[in-house]
Amino acid sequence: MQLILPSAELIVKILLGFAVGALIGLERQKKLESERVAGVRSFGLHSLLGTLAAYSYQILSEPAILAYAIVISGILVATQIYYKMFRTMGKGFTTPLVFAITFVLGVLVGLDTPAVGEYVGTLGVLSMTVSFGVFLVLSFKEELAHAVEVITRDEMISAVELGVIILFLWPLVPQTIQIGTIAFPAFQTYLLIVILLGVSFVNYLLVKKYKDRGVYFFGLFGGLANSEAAVSSVTDFYTKSERKGVESISISILFANVAMVLRNGFLLLLIDSSFELLRLYIVPITILLVVSIMKLIYESGKKEGQDEPMFDTKLVSPFEFGPAIRFGAIFAGVYLIQLFFTEAFSDIGLVVAAIIGGFVSAGAVVASTATLFITGEVSLSIAANAVILATTMSVLNKMIYVYLADRETTLLKRVARDSVIVGGLIIIYLLLLSLGLIV
């Protein structure tokens, strides 16, 4: 006797078909608990109706089943709209709209065709993603409404400009442009410009929300993406803010260096499973952390006692293209020089390239050097020297980026002092390491 049991794929379809609607219904039921509205069961069963109809149509090739489900769904949605408009006199059509969306999500699950050995395919993933996205949008309604209320015209235009740069130019920029025998990384340059524009916009929002503390958050999180871009952006913000809060800006730049060093250490942890490079890299991390903590303690003892915030976001634009283009040009020039030394020389070329590359992006140097080490193309000593030198240059180069954005010497002196202290200590460690006094 043959046992009629559903396959694992069908069970997943049924569960997922109900879940994508139930998740949205959960938010609606919780948000509108006092009203007689559709909740988890209604939304879940509505999406399940779409799943069963689409799956049956796929198996039987009978469009009448799917058409019947569409008509039933249309009647249910129309009933909700009627009840909303003429019975409760409520405003907005969010609930009927997302109720209709759940049917479409269920249909996507029913039409999903996973690959062999998988239970969820592309359409299933799309349905889950949209369901979760709708759940988040509905859950943070008050926060979104508040953000729209306080946003200014300049901020809205800047956000749209950034979106246009990302969405429309991203597919058009080639990966590389061949210049003679050199393949110039056009897309990487474009990506760095986008990062700089993005971190500049985030910097603006953080300072607007957290006032003087915002530059600290920006330095730390911006440094994780690209410390050079973060420093260029925060210095430009400083000059546009009438050069107020010089110590806060210098701490923000120090935080960008801390984030950069920690990020490079994480890259070594991911790439080098032997932890040999990370073991030698611990000292530079410790040096920077100790110096940063000492500076924070020192600055905390010099509390300025200002009642008014130092930074006024009204004085600056959410982001400007000038610093971004300038940074992109610097990256392009330094990258070409680094590439030349790498191809022209062997181990010495790698070290020289690391020094030059550290002026643009130590992360790229660290990742490429660690890869060469684990593949056996370079020795531990050469790799360690390249990684530490690139990091040192990335600490010292902040003086250059500050000078390019602000020729006035007040901020430059503080950044130079911090950079020279950290860079000097790391260089002393590197010399001891090269002499074999540290193993």
Please report how many Cα atoms fall inside a 13 Å half-sphere around the Cα of residue 295, on the Cβ side. 23
- What's the pLDDT score for residue 311? 45
Cα–Cα dist 13/15, whole Å? 6
Cα–Cα dist 432/386, whole Å? 15
Amino acid at 280: L
Q: What is the mean pLDDT of residues 19-40?
A: 74
- What's the pLDDT score for residue 231? 81
User: Which of 191-200, 228-237, 386-395 is predicted least confidently?
Assistant: 191-200
List CB contacts of 381: < 8 A, sequence separation 6 or more.
Answer: 434
Helices 276-300 and 362-374 pack at an angle, to 10 degrees, of 160
Phi, psi of 182 (to 5 degrees): -105, 130
Please give the model's pTM, rounded to 2 decimal places. Answer: 0.54
Residue carrying structure tokens 């999406």? 47
For 154-179, the pLDDT digits (tens) are 656 666 666 767 777 777 778 777 77
pLDDT band per the 50, 70, 90 thresholds, residue 92: low
Cα–Cα dist 356/256, whole Å? 19
429 or 212, higher pLDDT: 429
Choose among 393, 384, 392, 369: nearest CA to 439. 384
Mean pLDDT in the chain? 76
Please report how many Cα atoms fall inside a 13 Å half-sphere around the Cα of residue 421, on the Cβ side. 15
Residue 183: strand, helix, or coil: strand
For 315-337, the pLDDT digits (tens) are 344 455 655 666 567 666 666 66
